[in-house]
Each structure stands twice: as C-alpha cells, then as structure tokens.
Structure 1
Amino acid sequence: MNTVAHDRHHDLVDHPRPRFAPWLMEPMLRNKSTYLKVALAAAMINIFGLITSLFTMTVYDRVVPNNAFTSLVALSIGLVIVVVFDFLLRILRAYFTDLAGADIDHDVGGRVFKRLVAIRLDQKKGSTGALTGMMRELETLRDFFASATMTALVDVPFIVVTLVFIAILGGAVVWVPLATIPVVIGAGWLTRPALDRLSAKSMSEGLSKQSVLVETVGALEMVKTSGAGRLLGRRWSRANVAHGASSTRQRLVSTIATTVAASANTLSYAGTVVAGVFLIADHKLTTGALVACSILSGRAVQPLATIAALLSRLSATRTAYKQINGMMETGSEEPGAGALRPAKFEGRIELKGVEFRYPGAAEKTLDGLNLVIPAGQRVALLGKVGSGKSTIARMILGLYPPQEGLVMIDGTDVRQFDPHAMRALIGTALQEPVLLSGSVRENIVLDREAVDDEEMLRVADLSGTHGFMGRIANGYDLQLTDRGEGLSGGQRQAISLARALAGKPQILIFDEPTSSMDQGSEAQLIARLEAELKGRTFVLITHRPALVKLVDRIVVIENGRVVQDGPRDAVLQELQRPRAAA
C-alpha cells in the first residue's frame, strides 16, 4: 500500500471518533441563537401554565364563595391576555424550531451529498439502493432536530418548578406526582436498549428492501425480458416481511414506554384528587388549591410522556446518525488545502510500476504496469476482456488510487490534483454512456461556463448528435428520462461523446465509444474526429478495428501488463501474423 493510502487508512482506523461529528455539530451550533429563542418561548409558555392554575385556584377560593363577579371579570381579562401571548409564543416557537431545522437540513444535506459524490470508489460500501436509502435517513435527523424535540428538552427542567409550585400550594399532595415520575423514567430506561437494537435492525432491513426496489426499477427492461421478476419478487417479499416484523416490534416496544407515561399522567391527576380530598377534610387544603394542584400534577408528568415518545425517535436518530457518519468518515476525494488546480494540461501521461486489485478481487488487475504516453500522442489500448484496459483509464482519471506505483499527468502524481479540476480538463466517454434526467442541452453542457451554445452545437455536430436532434421540434430542450431511456444506444453514445468533446480538452479518454453505433455512423464519426484529435493526447480503448485509424500507436495489455507496444501498423501486422500462419 502506498504512503498516501496508508496515511488515510491510519486516519480512519486509529483516531477515535468524536461523539458528534463536525458535519452535524457545526450547523447546530450556528443556530444556537435560534434555539435560545425557542427555549425562551418554551419557558414563557410553562410560566403561563402556572398562571392558569393560579387563576383556577383564585376563582374557586375567592370568587365563588364571595360572588365576586367584578374580580372574576378582571381575572378573566388577565387570563385572555395570557392566552393571547401563549398563542403567539407557541406560533413563534414552532416557527423558530422549523427555521433552525430547515437550516440544519440544508447545511447537513449539502455536506452529506458533497461527500457522497466525493466518496472513493475503492472504499464504497453497499449497493446503490442501500446508499440511496441511507441518504433518505437524513429525514430522520431533520425530523428529530426540527420537531418538538428541543421544546421537550426545555420543558423537562420545568418539572422541578411545577413540583415546587405544587408543594407550595398543596403541601403533601406533591408526593403523588413525585411517585409517578420514577415509573415513567424507569419504563423509558428499560425499553431503551431494545429500541436501539430494533432500530438498527429495522434500518438494516429497510435498506435491503430499498436495494431490491432500486435494482428492480433501474433494470426494469432487463427484468421484463429475462424473466427476473420472480427472483426479485421473492427478494422483495423476504425483505418486506423482515422489515415489517422488526418495525412492528420496534413500535410495540416504543408504545410500552408511551403508554406507561400516559397511564402515569392519569394516575397522577386522579391520585392528587384523592389525596386532596383527605387534606380538605383535615382543613389543610382548599378546594381551589386542590383543583390547581390536580392541573399542575398532569403538567408535571406530561413532559416525561413527551420524552418517552421521543425515546423511540432518539433510537432511530442515533442509528441514522451512525450510518451517515460511517459514510462521512469513508475515504474521500475531497481535496486538501494544498491540492493543485491546473488551468491546463500539456497531456503527458505516465504509469510507473502500477499495481491494483479491485476490492474483494483475488487477482491483481494491473501488475507492475509501466506506460508512457507523450503529450499529443494518440494511443489505442487493445487486449482481451478483463485484461485491465478500462482500469488504466480509471487510474488516469484518479477514480481509483494504485496500491503500488505512480500515475502521473505532466510529471505530477494525479493524487496531488483537485479531482474536480483535473477531470474538468479531461474529456471522458466511458464504456456505458449514462445520461441524466433533464434536457439534452443540460447533458452536454453540464453547467460548464466555458461551454456556450456555439460550442455545444460544434461538438453535437462532431459527435453526430445534431444529426438526430436537429430534426426534432424541441431539439436540445428535449427532456430525457433517467439514463436517457427512449434513445437508442448509439444516440446515447453520441450525446456522451459530445459531452466529452465540449470545451476542447487537451486529454481525451474514450472507452468503446462506438460499441452501439452502426458501421455508417461510426465511419462518419471517425472522419470528423481525425481533424479534431490532432495535437491532443488521446487514449482509446476498443475492440472495433475501424477506430484504430484514429491512433498512431497501439499498446496491447494482457494480465495487467504491457505485452506489445509500437506504431499502429507494425503492431497490427504482428497481431495478424499468427492468424496468417494458422
């Protein structure tokens, strides 16, 4: 393993993980002023709750015995004012909570998506469906921080304030809600381990279910034509049953805690009334104080009921956090402060002693490969399937780092470049052309400022895209579905080639660029590309003999090594000699 890869691995394994990662903590800390406003609003709402109980006590103890209707009017006006302020504060509390949650969601979502795009392919774990399912768990984090969670946490300290108030008003009555509080806390504490375990299991099975769904939708045509529906149907059924069972158990356990809290709330209220009756009989408590204490006893236990309900969400949130944080700590291509951002390349490519094995593979794909491509040279890489040709292209693009050796462009190790800046200077058309949903124009331009309409039309004409797009009414504004479905394979390749040629990059890497084109289209493309490729470094991977006309040199790869290398015509004669002898 090379030094850079070893250092990254050391950083991931040996360093202890922070309790909360910066990608989550920084947006939360930035919104602390908003959360302080939420806390202040929640505190005022709790104080208004105490005032309501005092109103009730005063009415029963002062107004009713004395028929003091004037005092009742004054008290009622005061209560209306309190209710209005309580209403406004609740609206503001919800607004500020959602405001902070939206900001956290935007910031965290942006950071996670950026890391997903920059994830190192050699360290990517899980299927496409599992990764998309994990990204969906961002909603779990957002719901937790943008909901009543923060409000509930603020309400908890007011349990003590409420209990003190009950003790002042009702004396010994306070022991009733005090006795129910440990019951609620105990139920939440005892169910927490099971909730953590079931949340992790439910999420894992939910990701498996998502994986089957994404795989099916993404390959629906193959599923229909090959009859794979039965196999995928069984997988979906198994995943659905497993996920349903674990989710049911998770909801059942969380229901136990919330039901205990609800029952404790009822018992607290009823117990306060029963205890208060005896205190009234002993002339130690007034009727108004009993009514006020019964109201407050319910308020004392209610925040714990909310916390109990949040415990199940907390378990799901912790599980989602662990999953997303695991991805955030996976090796990334994100450039460091000293990354090089070249304005242009001369085009010299060198692979020196490169060894590479794909994750989980038994054999090396590249084994001590050495290859030098001078700037401006056009080279074809030929070889059998699995010989390592496409891997060389991925190495040049920095998609995979070599386990040993160096991959250099213009004498600089590609790992020193900012990957985005480096790839922006390389035109790439890979073996399987993938188009994005959106217009044809967007698929060619890709929001690159340097690619205007004139350049788009130029490369569209070069690649043959204009031949079929120019005849359509909405032309380049034609909206494509996912992966360009509805277009033929040759049309998708033409658009992919236009995208690669846009901006006149000095280095071009084409991997089977015409595999889906007919011979006529291919011949026309070759004729147009001959002039376009002059003076540029061109790496071509192909099994199509016609394309070899575009290159000056042929390199034959076998078992991850160079076995033949020389001028195009000389190597072609050498390759044809065994056939002639036979």
Structure 2
Amino acid sequence: MNEEPLLATGKRRFAPWLIEPMMRNRGIYMKVAVAAALINIFALVSALFTMTVYDRIVPNDGAASLVGLSIGLVFVIIFDFVLRLLRVYFVDVAGANIDHDVGETLFAKLLALRLDHRRGSTGALTGLMRELETLRDFFASVTLTALIDVPFIFVTLTVIAMLGGVLVFLPLAMIPVVILSGILTTPALDRMSSRSLGDGLLKQTVLVETIGSLETVKAIGAGPMLSGRWQKALISHSESSLGQRLISSIPMTVANSASTIAYCGIIIVGVGLLRSNEITTGALLACSILCGRALAPLAQIATLLSRLSATRVAYRQINALMDAPSEGPQGDALHPGVLRGQIELRNVGFRYPGSPEKALEQVNLTIAPGERVGFLGRVGSGKSTLARLVLGLYEPEDGVVMIDGIDVRQYDPNELRRLIGAGMQDNVLIAGTVRQNICLDRAVVDQDEMIRATEISGTHRFMGPITNGYDLRLTDRGDGLSGGQRQSIAIARALAGRPQILIFDEPSSSMDAQTEAELITRLHPEVQGRTLMLITHRTSLLALVDRIVVLDKGRIVADGPRDAVLQKLTRGKAA
C-alpha cells in the first residue's frame, strides 16, 4: 500500500483522496471560472442598459440609438445563455470525473479494509458510501460556483457606489447580517446533521438486513420485530431531518429578507436623492437592479453554510474509513508467482474485535508442501479462525503466520489469495452468472478449466443439462439454489486454476451422504500433491487427509497421523 502523501512540513495532506482528483480537473475549473466571470460581467449590462434608456434615450427620443442598444443587448443575452450552459456542463464534467476517481478510491479502500478494523454494519457502510455524493457535490460544484461569484459582490457594489453614491451602504449593511446568521446557526446545524446522518445509517442498516435475509425473516417470523425497528428508525430520522431542514433554512430566509430590505431601502432613499437631483432616474433603476444582483451570491453563501455542516459530518465519517488500516504491508508488497504450499504458525494468538476471550492461543503448527491436514474440534474451537489467518483476512494478535517461510503480511493480499483455493463456510455467491462466480475474471480459468472444476465439484451435473446453464444469472448470494448447489459452485470456484493450496471449511455440510461420497471420490485424485486444510465435523471427509489436528478452546490438543488420532478420539469417547 502506498504511503499517504505528506506536505513539506511532514504533516499529512488534507483529504488527498478528494483533493488530488480535484487538482487533476483544475483545467476544467479554470474554464468554469472564466465562464462565471463573464456571466457576472454580463449581469451588469442589463442595469447599464436600463440606465442609458431612461437617462439618454427617453429624454432625447433616440429611437435609432435604442435599436442599436437592443441589438447589442441581444448578443449579450445570447453569450450569457451559452456561457451559463457551458458552466453547468464543465461543472458536471468535473464532478463526474471526481465522482469516478473518488468512488474508485473509496471502493478500493473498502475492499482493502482490514476486517478487524471494520466498524458498523453492512447497511451503515452502504449508507456511508452514499454520503460520498454529498461530499463531492459540496467540493466539486456548489462551493466552486459560490467562491467564483462572491468576489463579484464587491464589483457590483463598486458600480452601485459609482452610480448611486450612498445607496451602496444599504446592500453593504446586509452582507454581515447574512454571514452572521449562518455562523450562529452552524453549531446547532452540526449537531442535527450528525444526528440525521446517524439515523439515516440506522435506517439503512435495518433495510439492508431485512432485504438481504428476507426468506429467513419470513420463515422465523421476525417481521414484526424488524417492522418495529423500521418504524422507530423512520420516526427518529424524520425528526432529525426536519430539525436539520428548519435550521438550515434560517440563513437562506435571512438572505432573502435582506435582499428585499436592501432593494426597498434603495428605492426609498433613492427617491430622496432623485428629488435633490443627486442621481438620475436611470441610475436609481440601475442601482435597484444591481442590488438584487449584488445580494444574490449571499443566498448561495447561506446555502453553502447550511450544507457545510452536513458535508463536514460526511467528511469525518468517510475520512475515518479512508484512514483505517489497509491489508498488506505499508511498503512494497511481495507478488508471488507460485506457492510451494508450506504453511507455518508460530505462537499464534488471536482475538476477534470486541471478544473477551481469545479464539486462538499459543498455536504452533507446520504443514509441509503437499501435506493434507484435517482439522477437528467443537464449535468455536478456532478451526475457521485458522483458515482466516492463513488467508490473511485477519492479522494475528501474537505470533506469525507464514506461507513458504514468509509472513503472509508481506504478500500482496490479492495476489496471495489468487494462488489459494478457498471454499469458506458461508458459500456466498455473487450476483451474476454461474460462469462469473466460478471464473471470477481470472485469466488462468478458461472454459475448459471451468468445466474440469465443475465436473469435480458436481456442478456440471445440474448446470450442464440446462440450456443457458453457466450463463444462468444468480440473484444476491445465490438465492434460488439449494444449499448443496451453492456449495458445489463454491468448491468449483476454489478448484479452478489448480491452486497449490486448498482450504475447505465444511465443504459438504449441505450435501446428502451419496452426493458427499461421490464428491470425495472425485476430490481424492485432485488434492494429491497439494497442500490441503480441511475443516470438518464429518469423519467421512477425513479420507482426503493423511494427518489430523484437533483443536479445543483455541489450542491444539492432538496432532498426528489420521488413523492414530481417530483411534485416540474413539477410545476417548468410549471411556
């Protein structure tokens, strides 16, 4: 994993995952800035046109001059229209580029996230990914437009001062009022934004949990309980969102009222100046038009301040995810081409996050290349934990886990797992075709290799006769298939590509005795010469191994040849 970019002072740069994509689009932003500048300049033209008509054209009956001015105004309006479209287009292009880059970075970070540092449920994480859009919109579009328009407030005020003199003080006095209203509401808005985000993530959690296990929810009658949670989450989120909207509307309402006050003030004061001949009618009208233009960006600032709180909360949440440790070494990772298959654990201890007891403690184990080892033990004895540590899904709390004499933490996790065939206990399938679930876009797994693996696992027996067999699209987690069919596909996925190391965790738990016996017959020649870690409670599967390791309460209590260990276990039960 690359180290995070640092400034010359040694301090970490602010959100490089967001700032760097924005910097790569600075050329587009320059075009947006130029377009915005011209739009603000053209906005002065309509006021100056009005002043010229009332002060020059009307008194002198200059119809020809009016035609000329009108033609010029038409060109200005056309250019203004085109520039506004271009500004929207450029902002959207930059936003889409940033959305792609940041979204890709965030998804890669999610895949590389160490499981022992994962925080929150699946629903909370998916909801957090949605907050990326809030962050991107603030930094990529809303903020940019407001920042470009703000300096032209003073340009417009300067023109008002040139035309109307003291009239400029009326809109000028409204600026601090709007800014102050935004500043004063910020603390309350921060609290409501944080609460609203938390309530939204909770609602997302209930929704994802229910949809993801809808069949189970129906079967066990958990609907009323989850409905209660959903109703509670809805009420809480609606209350916090209502409070957030009400508070955020205060600065915008103040900005609109300030604009009205300034406009009416210019008319009232301007009439007095007009009577004393200090300004002309055209100047008064121009100043009233420019007043609205000068204060329009203040509404954007008010909106910006109201969105700043939500953005700040979203940034803290996403940045916490980006700052979480990633899998693999901090420097350059090792990229193994092949594995010999030696596995060694030295004084390994491990505790799951939040667990009061260790899942493994002082485990020492060596598996030679090509050795086939079965792991037995009660539920919770640490068998599956061993498999997770060998795969690098978790890092040991104590000791070291090595493959081919190298700490697994030095390997690139993706490259390491590409060389290991793993069939885990959950047998989760990915939405897509059966072919995609088995091949996983791996170049080494072509059609012939896929068919070979499915014939061994038994998948070909029920997929081969179907017209669109391997192109059959599966829903999330393989719903619609039986547990045995899902297991069969998972085994084929592990075998495809002929990996030197195979890890199977309860590979036949959902299969009947006959299907399991046929699977063992086909697997026996396949596992010869490969390193095999077989976790099971079924003694029939032990025909595939020549050594057994027994675990109890996270410790190895027996280790030896298969037949000797089985005889010892049988005598222990008899006693």
TM-score (norm 1): 0.96
1:550 counterpart residue number: 544
Cα separation, 2, equivalents of 1:117 and 1:21: 19
Which AA in structure 1 matches 2:565?
V
1:416 counterpart residue number: 410
Determine which of 559, 562, 567 is the counterpart of 2:556.
Answer: 562
After the TM superposition, which of the residue ranges 193-202 and 431-440 deviates more from structure 2? Answer: 193-202
Cα separation, 2, equivalents of 1:148 and 1:575: 70
How much has 1:336 moved relative to structure 2?
Answer: 4.2
How much has 1:373 moved relative to structure 2?
Answer: 0.4
Cα separation, 2, equivalents of 1:177 and 1:312: 22
Instruction: Identify if the C-alpha distance between structure 1 residues 132 and 351 changes in structure 2 by more than 3 Å, giving closer, same or farther.
Output: same
List alignment gaps of at least 5 residues for structure 1.
1-7
1:519 to 2:550 alignment? no
Cα separation, 2, equivalents of 1:363 and 1:257: 53
1:78 to 2:69 alignment? no
Cα separation, 1, equivalents of 2:447 and 2:126: 34
1:88 counterpart residue number: 82
How much has 1:578 moved relative to structure 2?
Answer: 2.6
1:358 to 2:352 alignment? yes
Cα separation, 2, equivalents of 1:365 and 1:352: 15
Once superposed, what is the RMSD of the aligned Cα atoms? 1.4
Q: Is the 8 A contact 2:142 2:304 kept in 1?
A: no
1:394 counterpart residue number: 388
1:186 counterpart residue number: 180
2:51 counterpart residue number: 57
Q: Is the 8 A contact 1:102 1:146 kept in 2?
A: no
Q: What is the CA deviation profile of residues 227-265 of structure 1, one whole-angstrom value per residue up to 9, with x for unaligned ones?
A: 111111111111111111010000001111111101111
1:327 counterpart residue number: 321
How much has 1:200 moved relative to structure 2?
Answer: 0.9
| Residue correspondence of structure 1 range 253-292 to structure 2 within 5 A | 253-292=247-286
Determine which of 311, 318, 325 is the counterpart of 1:317.
Answer: 311
How much has 1:56 moved relative to structure 2?
Answer: 0.7
1:250 counterpart residue number: 244
Q: What is the CA deviation profile of residues 31-62 of structure 1, one whole-angstrom value per residue up to 9, with x for unaligned ones?
A: 11211111111111000011221111000101
Cα separation, 2, equivalents of 1:419 and 1:147: 37
After the TM superposition, which of the residue ranges 309-318 and 450-459 deviates more from structure 2? Answer: 309-318
Aligned residues: 569
2:484 counterpart residue number: 490
How much has 1:334 moved relative to structure 2?
Answer: 4.9
List alignment gaps of at least 5 residues for structure 2.
none
1:504 to 2:504 alignment? no
After the TM superposition, which of the residue ranges 256-265 and 336-345 deviates more from structure 2? Answer: 336-345
2:455 counterpart residue number: 461
Q: Is the 8 A contact 2:200 2:237 kept in 1?
A: yes
1:217 counterpart residue number: 211
Cα separation, 1, equivalents of 2:11 and 2:310: 20
Cα separation, 2, equivalents of 1:487 and 1:579: 38
Cα separation, 2, equivalents of 1:271 and 1:302: 16
Which AA in structure 1 matches 2:556?
V
Which AA in structure 2 matches 1:448?
R
Cα separation, 2, equivalents of 1:16 and 1:24: 19
Instruction: Identify if the C-alpha distance between structure 1 residues 76 and 334 changes in structure 2 by more than 3 Å, giving closer, same or farther.
Output: farther
How much has 1:218 moved relative to structure 2?
Answer: 1.0
Which AA in structure 1 matches 2:98?
I
1:427 to 2:425 alignment? no
Q: Is the 8 A contact 1:356 1:365 kept in 2?
A: yes
Cα separation, 2, equivalents of 1:378 and 1:450: 24
After the TM superposition, which of the residue ranges 194-203 and 375-384 deviates more from structure 2? Answer: 194-203
Q: What is the CA deviation profile of residues 316-337 of structure 1, one whole-angstrom value per residue up to 9, with x for unaligned ones?
A: 1111111010001111115544
Cα separation, 1, equivalents of 2:557 and 2:207: 44
1:528 counterpart residue number: 522
2:131 counterpart residue number: 137
Cα separation, 1, equivalents of 2:47 and 2:515: 85
Instruction: Identify if the C-alpha distance between structure 1 residues 148 and 90 changes in structure 2 by more than 3 Å, giving closer, same or farther.
Output: farther
1:69 to 2:60 alignment? no
Determine which of 474, 483, 491 is the counterpart of 2:468.
Answer: 474
Cα separation, 1, equivalents of 2:342 and 2:466: 41
2:147 counterpart residue number: 153
Instruction: Identify if the C-alpha distance between structure 1 residues 18 and 193 changes in structure 2 by more than 3 Å, giving closer, same or farther.
Output: farther
2:220 counterpart residue number: 226
Moved over 6 A (4+): none
1:307 to 2:301 alignment? yes
Q: What is the CA deviation profile of residues 350-398 of structure 1, one whole-angstrom value per residue up to 9, with x for unaligned ones?
A: 0010011111111111110000100000000000010000000011001
1:241 to 2:197 alignment? no
2:92 counterpart residue number: 98
Q: What is the CA deviation profile of residues 106-151 of structure 1, one whole-angstrom value per residue up to 9, with x for unaligned ones?
A: 0000000000011001111111111111011111123223434311
1:115 counterpart residue number: 109
1:48 to 2:32 alignment? no
Cα separation, 1, equivalents of 2:20 and 2:424: 38
1:376 counterpart residue number: 370
Q: Is the 8 A contact 2:419 2:501 kept in 1?
A: yes
Which AA in structure 2 matches 1:445?
C
Which AA in structure 2 matches 1:24?
L
Which AA in structure 2 matches 1:142?
R
Q: Is the 8 A contact 1:195 1:254 kept in 2?
A: yes
Which AA in structure 2 matches 1:554?
I
Cα separation, 2, equivalents of 1:548 and 1:385: 18
How much has 1:425 moved relative to structure 2?
Answer: 0.4
1:171 to 2:165 alignment? yes
How much has 1:580 moved relative to structure 2?
Answer: 3.2
Report SS of the residue matched to 1:171: helix
Cα separation, 1, equivalents of 2:233 and 2:529: 55
Cα separation, 2, equivalents of 1:545 and 1:536: 20
Cα separation, 2, equivalents of 1:372 and 1:405: 14
Instruction: Identify if the C-alpha distance between structure 1 residues 507 and 576 changes in structure 2 by more than 3 Å, giving closer, same or farther.
Output: same
How much has 1:461 moved relative to structure 2?
Answer: 0.6
Cα separation, 2, equivalents of 1:256 and 1:16: 41
Report SS of the residue matched to 1:65: helix
How much has 1:193 moved relative to structure 2?
Answer: 1.5
Which AA in structure 1 matches 2:468?
N
How much has 1:547 moved relative to structure 2?
Answer: 0.3
Report SS of the residue matched to 1:147: helix
Q: Is the 8 A contact 2:182 2:306 kept in 1?
A: no
Cα separation, 2, equivalents of 1:563 and 1:17: 50
